[in-house]
Structures are given as structure tokens and as C-alpha cells.
Amino acid sequence: MLGIKNLTTEIDSESGLIRAVDALSLTLERGETFALVGESGCGKSMTALSILRLLPDSGRVAEGQVSIDDTDLVQLPEARMRDYRGRRISIIFQEPSTSLNPVMTVGRQITEVIERHTPVTGAAALAKAIDWLKRVGIPDPDRRVHDYPFQMSGGQKQRVMIAIALAAEPDVVIADEPTTALDVTIQAQILDLLKELQQSQQMAMLLITHDLAIVSQMAHRVAMMYAGQVVEVAEAADFFAHPMHPYAVNLFDALPDAGKRGHWLASIAGTVPALNQEFAGCRFADRCADVMAHCHTQVPALYQPKEGHSVRCFLYQDRQFPRSPKRVSALDTALMTDRPAGKTVVELRDYRVWFPIRQGVLQRTVDYVKAVDGVSFSIAAGRTLALVGESGSGKTTVGKALLQLLRKQAQITGSALLHGQSLDALHGEPLRTARRAVQIVFQDPFASLNPRMRVNEILEEGVASLRPDVSALERTRRVATLLDKVGLSSAALGRYPHEFSGGQRQRLAIARALAVEPELIVADEPTSALDVSVQAQILNLFKQLQQELGVAYLFITHNFGVVEYLAHDIAVMKDGKLVEYGPARQVLQYPQQAYTQALLQAVPRLASSQLL
């Protein structure tokens, strides 16, 4: 269905020529799912944009071919390329907030694709759009089809993006982190939908993801990228049973789960090298535990130690006598002990957040959307409460209301107490002072980072505003230290948010929240956009801060691996209400509510038999 040969993509930047994709070759067969995995910034998304010719103005495909039915898409004029996009090959973008048109209803955006690429028009196209919203799990699709993107949660926007991509029933779908913002039940539903379409239409799919459990469930073949190159290609079953590249082996050890609780996660030191340079040797050499002298001076080829399994590593140069990479098991790393729970930092008592529904010329309130309806919980210093539930259940609203960010939009009742003091009663300077103690990591880093400010200005802004006692020199030092802790180099300080990948922007958002040394961090899907090794770094950082400073976390997430590893308590939300609340071990092993049981059953997992 799709053939890619020696694809090389270059981008002009202030720091020089960036070779984002370097001589990538792969093929997709009809009905096949080919997974492209690797760290943030390795070129996965740039590969997708290169295939569809959606590169930024400064980018170009320098070499290579992208073929569908013997037609080279690279050579097509733009007018003909539009006939291929959406109909023959489409894409599910990683960040729906930036790829959905904010001034068009979601229904119009779906019907636009249907009317452009199929004979269906008018009312029939709208009916088909409603059907697609229903198929991707949007509740009340007849009403929501007339909503705008801003009226939907992050997960719902991602589902709309999936509906747009599939609306014309294309031959090839590029799914760039298609389930990143989705809760586990909708994620399972979407993955089942993609499988169903593949079977019925023999659709090929290029799946770009950092979730290895999803890859193990969905993919027929896997290619791992690192620093713009493919470093390992194999059948999915063989890849999970016998990973060969040192990078792949270490990734499996970085996965969080209940078995690694009480241990530091094994994380790969360092970061992906900048791609604005000529590489003299292996690009992974500086981070590799198996590095040899010639790794720095010679470029490894893509060796094939066994049939159907290729790897770019000198350990496999001699096919008859391959060497296995060293493994740094998470269970061999140092034990960590939780500090005793401190005093209660924050407490919610019968908290309600109701959004008014207004109608008529005078915009009278006729009803309310009860986004949060009677929620009560508390978090002590040094403890983590995981808030889980389906998209739209009110999790993010709880976090925003706790920080007093919804006062003008919603009717809020009940109490939010910080050290026993009511946050709802604070205004002006007292509220500003309270915000030193409570920070938030938003779900969408692109929308929450100022596009006109450089990274150093973004990170220093909060410290300068909320911690005037910190000197300018100390601010600069603190920011540089934080960048290193979240896995970014100091070269990032002078860059703007749009110059980073989605995962890198999320790391910046985390660094910004940590900069003022808060007592409580509301973390809204803080690791959803991060690859496995960086997620391990971030989770270790969260645990380290909790041990050293007693920081409390309200961890809003749908990643149950993270919940199993990090949470002390779990609160399960459904339709604005708390349906189950208790110690993590009890909720995970002995769930009482049918809803909680359904959530846990939908979690994608790597079978222990799959791992080396």
C-alpha cells in the first residue's frame, strides 16, 4: 500500500540545517499495522508530515520516494496531492487542539472531508458525521455535532480528530499518537475500531506511539527510531520477546508498573542528540552502556542477525557471534522509601462545579452542566492521589477549580481548603500568595506555553512573579538545573515552544510548575505525551521531590501503569461524581464498583511472556 525509500527530510533553522529524517525506508502492506516507536524528537512525527507533504515552510524532502500504487507523492503537484490527502492517505494528528479549526463546528469539519472526497453531501454527509462521532465514542452525538472544539475535553477533541481522519475511509492511515489523550475504555474502543476498519477495508496503518503495550496489541511489525534513523526493525512478537538494540532493551526496563513500586525506575541517561550536526559514529553511543571505541568513529549499518530482524548496532556486526546488550533492570536499582505522610495540604469538601447553560436573547440560565458534583477527598504532604476516570468525567475540572481558575465561568459550591484555609474566599494578593504553594501542569502543553516567549523567559516568569525573594542569578541557575532534570539540554533556553516536539513541550510545562517549589502540584496527564525513557526520568523526579520536599500530587491520568507505580490513593470519577476512593492497593486489587472493574480490564498490558 505504501512504500518509503531513502526518505530524507531537512529543516532550515537558526542553529543550522537539521536532518530530521535520515534515509528512512519501510513498506506497509495492505491490512498491516506498522508501528514506529522511539523517543520524542527522534523524527517520528516528522516522518508522518513528510509522507503527507505537510512540512513547515522551512522544511523539505531532500531525497527519497513515497509511493502509493506506483505514484511518487514527493513529485506530485500540490493540486493533485490534495486528492490523495484524506482519501487515499490520512493522518490522526498528535495535538487535536492545534489541528482542529476553532471557528468551525466539529460536525462541519467532518462533513468537509466527506463532501470533498466522497459523493455524499448535505444532510446525508451530516448524518454520516453524526455516525462517526458515535463510532468514536462521543456521547450525545446529535447535539455535540454542532459544538465547537473549545466546548470539548482534550480526549473528546482527539476522538473528533480520529473521526475526521477516518471519515473518507482512506487506504492508509497515519496515526500519530492516536490515543495519547484518551482514557483506557475509549482507547480500547478506538483501537478496536481501527482493527475493525483494517479487517473490513484492508486499510494499512502507520502507528506512531510511545505506548509499547498498544504496539504489542496492534502492530504486525515494529521499527524503532533514534535521532532521525531507524535502529531496529522486526516482527512485533520477535521485537518484544528479543529486543536487540541497547536502546530498545533499556526501554522495557523503564516501563512503570506495580512490580517496580518501591524502586527507582531505570532511565536512560542523557538526551537525544541535536540533529543539526554531522554524525561521525553511532548516534546512541553517548548514552549506551555497551559503547566501544569505534562506536564514536564509525557509523553502524543496519545488520540482520536473523531473518526478519534488523538492528543498527556493532554488537551484531558478526552474525555468527552476536553479543547481547547489557540490561539495567529497574529492580536492581536502589530501593526508595516513602517518607511518612505529613499534614493535610489540600482538602475538598462536597465540591461542586456547575456550568450554566444559557439560552435566548437575554442569555438566561435554563440549566447546568454538573461537571463536578459533590466531590470530597484530601491529600497529605508527601502523598500522591491519582484521579482517574473517563474523558469528560470532570477530572480536569476538579484540578482547575481547585486552583481557582474557573470562578468566572462556573457556579462553585463546597470548600477547597489549603492548610485549612478556604481558597474560594481568597482574592488579590492572598490568592497570589496561595498560588506559590499550588501549581498545575496542564494537559495540553502547546496551549499553555506562551508562543512569543523563549524557554528561559517562560521558566523564569513564575519564579519572578511568585518568588520575588529569589535573585535573578539564582533564577537562572534554578532554570538550568530544572532543564537537566526533565531531560532537556541548556541549548533549549533560547528557543521558542513551537521548535519542540509535543513530548519536549510537556517537559517544559513540568519544569515550569516545579520552578517555584510548590507544596502541591496538580498534574493533568503530565506524562501522556512523553516517551517511555523520559517518562521514567519524570516519574523518578516526581518521587525525588516528594522524598526530599514532601510535595503532594493530585495526579490526573489514564495511564494505569503510572498509577500502579506512583499513587498512594486512588479516586475514581464518573459523570462528575466520585464512585470509588481508597488506598491504591485496595482499589487496584479489589475494585468494588463495576465501573472501576471495567476501567482496569480495558488497560493495555505487555504480557510477561512477551518480555525478554
Distance of alpha carbon 353 from alpha carbon 1, whole angstroms: 50
Cβ atoms of 182 and 99 within 8 Å: the answer is no
Compute the C-alpha angle 234/238/242, nearest 5°: 105
- Domain-wise residue ranges, the chain: 2-97+167-219, 243-253+263-335, 382-409+425-610
Q: What is the pLDDT of residue 116?
A: 92
The dihedral through the CA atoms of 531, 536, 540, 546 has a sign that is positive
Angle at Cα 43 formed by Cα 37 and Cα 49, nearest 5°?
105
Which parts of 208-325 fold into alpha helices (H)? Answer: 212-218, 236-241, 246-253
C-beta atoms surrounding 427 within 10 Å: 10
Give the pTM: 0.74
What pLDDT score was predicted for residue 335? 57
How many DSSP H helices and E strands does the chain contain? 21, 22
Query: Are the folds of 2-97+167-219 and 382-409+425-610 the same?
Result: yes
Please, which residues have CB within 8 angstroms of residue 243's CB and are 6 or more apart in sequence?
232, 249, 251, 252, 612
Q: What is the pLDDT of residue 611?
A: 45
Cα→Cα distances 255→191, 331, 510, 601, Å? 21, 12, 20, 19
Q: How far is CA 204 from CA 33, 95, 213, 214, 223, in A?
A: 6, 22, 20, 16, 15
Note the pLDDT of residue 321.
Answer: 64
Q: What is the pLDDT of residue 195?
A: 84
Element (H, E) at 451: none
CATH class name, domain 2-97+167-219: alpha beta
Domain 382-409+425-610 has CATH 3.90.209.20: no
Helix (H) or strand (E) holding 1: none
Instruction: For residue 87, give the H/E element and its range.
Output: none
Run means of pLDDT, 10 residues per run, the chain, 612 residues = 92 88 91 88 89 91 90 91 90 84 94 93 94 89 93 83 90 86 76 82 88 88 93 93 89 82 78 86 89 90 90 85 62 60 90 90 86 93 91 88 91 92 89 88 84 92 86 88 83 88 81 89 83 80 84 89 91 93 92 90 66 44
